[in-house]
Structure 1
């Protein structure tokens, strides 16, 4: 059975994770700040959420 969860940070839908049959949750980015995490597999949806929050909180090069 597959399951998908939206990862939301400060009201912004930053991406989603999909449960993998082999275990873990694969992340799909919806915002540019999270593109570096695209396709990564996390142990849980919560772990993915923390990684996305960190990516969005990181200072951006201008």
Structure 2
């Protein structure tokens, strides 16, 4: 059975992931900033959320200058 999980970043519905028969999660973009992940497979919904969140709201490197 397939299941879907909404990926929301700072109140923006970025897309959703749908779990397939093999347990992988395929991403379907809803926000322009997430289009580069369209169709990509992730091991978990959390992995997808992390990847999309970094693309939408990148944080500066924590390494020293």
1:23 deviates by 2.4
1:4 deviates by 0.2
Partner of 2:43: 43
1:42 deviates by 0.2
What residue ranges of structure 1 are gaps of 5+ in the alignment?
none
Task: Measure, in 1, the Cα distance between the counterparts of 2:55 and 2:37.
Answer: 8
Task: Measure, in 2, the Cα distance between the counterparts of 1:23 and 1:15.
Answer: 18
State the Cα RMSD in Å: 0.8
What pairs up with 1:1-62 in 2 under 5 angstroms? 1-58=1-58
What residue ranges of structure 2 are gaps of 5+ in the alignment?
59-65
Q: With structure 2 as the length reference, what TM-score do the two structures score?
A: 0.84
Runs of 4+ in 1 over 6 A off after TM superposition: none
Q: With structure 1 as the length reference, what TM-score do the two structures score?
A: 0.88
Q: Per the alignment, in what secondary structure is the counterpart of residue 54 of structure 2? A: helix
Q: Name the larger-Rg structure.
A: 2
Counting matched residue pairs gives 58
